[in-house]
Structure 1
Amino acid sequence: MSVNSPENRNNRKLLIVGLIVILSSINGILIYMNYQKKEKTEEQAEIIKVKNSELENQIKVYEALKADFERQSQELQAMGLENDSLEAKIAAISSDLSELRGFRKSSYTLSDQRRFRDRAKAFEVQLKQKDDEIAKLKADNEVLFTENTELKEKQNKLADSLTTFKTATRDLSDKVRVAARLEAQNISVNIINERGKTKDDNDNEFRAKRVDKIRVAFQLAKNEVSTKEPKSVYLRMIEPDGAALYNLSTGSGSFQVEGEDMYYTAKRDFVFDNTQQQLNFVYDKNAAYKKGLHTVELYADGFLIGKTSFTLK
């Protein structure tokens, strides 16, 4: 039989067609498999993309939570308060953040997503509750601040009133003290010589060599304000050189007038009875008197109550 017989040619055609059909089928299968593989790759890439986005979002949520809890802690500290539970929450969120940042994109499972979402929701509820609590504390503090401010204002007004009252009382006391000042009237000066005789002179001029003692007499004026009580009257006899006669052995000493110490020549204690009582001093210098103008000053209760002068020639 010839090789190129019609039958052989037909067989070759059938074989070629079969091969073509087989190759087409294989090619179709390969195309389908490649398509399936591409879809699967794209699906996996989309899943990874979604996981990555979810992970980043969750990290942002936790960072915001941490910032809010730290803000609450600072607000409480500003009010002088401490809260250990807040510090514990901040520490827990920091730990979760470290775990979230440590995930690889492919290892962040749906279970992890649900776990961290649930924890974030719980933290958000606690954050809201603490914000409400802080708002109430601030409102209470505002009320207390207002009350304290009003109390301080009342205290300041009371202090001002008390100061005004004290000033008025002091002024009144000063006025009463001035009004109660005694007054020495009809002051007279005469000398006593060595023989005990008294010599008067209308001009208050005496011979120095005849003077042994000096007598100063006066009368206290009526004063209804001054208290009837024991008092002291001080005599200052000032010599021509401006110095007050002073001798401890004859009863001299010092007293205060308007806060300053002054020397007195002699002192006389008496009981004021508002009867215009007569008082007198008899002073013995036990030495020669200086010639010239002598000044006599009388003091009681820190006031100058009378003054006169005499001359020794």
Structure 2
Amino acid sequence: MENKEDNKDNKKNNSSISILITLLVFALLGAGYLFYSNMQLKDQLADCSSMKQDVQQERDRVVGDLENMLVKYDSLDTDNDSIKTQLEEEKARVKELITQAKNNEWTIYKLRKEASTLRDIMKGYVKTIDSLNTENIELRAKNAEVTQKLTETEKRNENLETEKTELEEKVKIGAKLNALNMVSFAQRSNIMGTMKETSRAGRAEKIKTCFTLEKNDIAKEGERNVYIRIISPNGQVLAERTDESNMFEFDGTKGLYTVKKIVYYENRELDVCMFWDVKDELDEGIYTIEAYADKMKIGSTTFELK
């Protein structure tokens, strides 16, 4: 009876031990699984941390690339207003992308793609501006060459103008008429009504001036205004009027004339006589008579009244 009791107890003990062993095995298996799972999670966490660090580093590189791109945009310089406006727009896009990248609003893929697009656009502007600058350099060189040629041409023209002026002056001098054998004297009328020469100031009724215009083949053929100025001993020009209507231009100035006569010159010798009627009694002394044509003095002479 006791053996049966003991056998039952042994069986219970053996069963309990088996259960404990089974539970222990399961516990060990669970602990191993948990340990393995924990290790996997740690590895995954490490991988995620590394990946996050790599992503951040890549983001920082792209941001740095964008910031360098912005510096490059700032260095681009052009006089083209249209390109300047486009450059400002692209700079604004780069700044906006940098801000969004720093705020983690873009994935690395999209960030790289947008940065690459902006970089290509910038390269296009660099090429365009370099081309424009090259063209500007060439244009400036051409302008300098044209300016130099223009200066040389202007200088040649100035020289030609000077030569022309000198030649015209020579032609003018060469074409100048000269009064040859110029004589002038006072006249009075006798009882027969004939005019005779007189040296008496109180008897002078007219002043006669005669000369011969010499032959000159260079001079222009045609009508000439010939002027006589009779200058009294006190230096005054004898004239009927003293206003503008009795003046003419000569030797770069303007002055009174005593008498004027229109003659027709045919490039050969031409005898000319001119008369002035005395209005008031003349003073005693030496009178100077000057002849002018083509605004130049062509001859002079003197006579004396007593």
TM-score, normalised with respect to structure 1: 0.78
| Other-structure match for 1:152 | 147
Match of 1:238 in 2: 231
Q: Alpha-carbon deviation of 1:55?
A: 2.4
Deviation of 1:178 after TM superposition, in Å, equals 0.6
- 1:122 paired to 2:126: no
1:181 & 1:120 partners in 2: Cα distance? Answer: 87
Q: 2:190 matched to 1:190? A: no
State the Cα distance separating 1:231 from its structure 2 match.
Answer: 0.4
Which residue identity lines up with residue 274 of structure 2 in the other structure? Answer: F
- Residues 1:175 and 2:170 aligned together: yes
- In structure 2, give the amino acid aligned to 1:246: A
RMSD of the TM alignment (CA)? 3.1
What is the rounded CA distance, in whole Å, between the counterparts of 1:224 and 1:37 in structure 2? 125
Deviation per residue, 1:211-256 (Å, 9 max, x gap): 111111111111111111100111000011111112139x971111
In the aligned structure 2, how far is the partner of 1:55 from the partner of 1:70? 22
Question: Cα deviation per residue 1:56-109 (whole Å; 9 max; x = unaligned)?
Answer: 22211111222323433xx23x24553654443323222211111223xxxx7x
CA distance in 2, matches of 1:267, 1:48: 115
Whether 2:298 is the aligned partner of 1:290: answer no
1:43, distance to aligned residue in structure 2 (A):
4.6
Q: How far 1:138 moved relative to its partner?
A: 2.3
Letter in 2 for 1:280: C
Deviations 1:127-166 (A, max 9, x none): 2233222222222232222222222222222222222111
The counterpart of 1:199, out of the listed 184, 196, 200, is 196
Q: Answer with 82-91 or 140-149: which moved more.
A: 82-91
Is residue 219 of structure 2 the alignment partner of residue 218 of structure 1?
Answer: no
Q: 1:134 aligns with which of 107, 122, 129?
A: 129
Residues 252 and 265 in structure 1, CA contact (< 8 A), matched pair in contact too: no
User: What is the one-letter code of the residue matched to 1:67?
Assistant: V
1:56 aligned onto 2:49: no
Deviation at 1:36, TM superposition (A): 6.8
Contact 1:246 1:252 in 2 (8 A): no
Structure 2 equivalent of residue 93 of structure 1:
94
Using the aligned pairs only, state the percent identity: 24
> Could you tell me how far 1:32 is from its partner in structure 2?
8.0
Q: Who is 2:17 aligned against? A: none
Write the distance in 1 (CA, Å) between the matches of 2:101 and 2:111.
9
CA distance in 2, matches of 1:146, 1:80: 23
- Closer, same or farther in 2 for the Cα pair 1:223/1:167, shift >3 Å? same
User: Which of 249, 254, 258 in structure 1 is aligned with 2:251?
Assistant: 258
Deviation at 1:280, TM superposition (A): 0.9
CA distance in 2, matches of 1:214, 1:252: 22
Q: 3-state DSSP class of the match of 1:247? A: coil
Return 5+ residue gaps in structure 2 as ranges.
1-20
Contact kept? 2:182, 2:301, Cα under 8 Å: yes
Give the Cα–Cα distance (whole angstroms) in 1 for the partners of residues 81 and 131 of structure 2. Answer: 15
* Map of 2:75 onto structure 1: 71
Matched AA of 1:271: Y
1:272 paired to 2:265: yes
> Does the C-alpha gap of structure 1 residues 252 and 306 become closer, same or farther in structure 2, counting only changes over 3 Å?
farther
Q: What's the counterpart of residue 12 of structure 2? A: none
Give the Å deviation of 1:51.
Answer: 3.2
Q: Tell me the residue number matched to 1:247.
A: 240
Count of residues in Structure 1 that have an aligned counterpart in Structure 2: 278
Q: Provide the secondary structure at the position in 2 that maps to 1:82.
A: helix
Higher mean C-alpha displacement, 272-281 vs 121-130 = 121-130
Supply the AA of the counterpart residue of 2:94.
I
Whether contact under 8 Å (1:237, 1:245) holds in the other structure is: yes
Structure 1 gap ranges (5+):
1-17
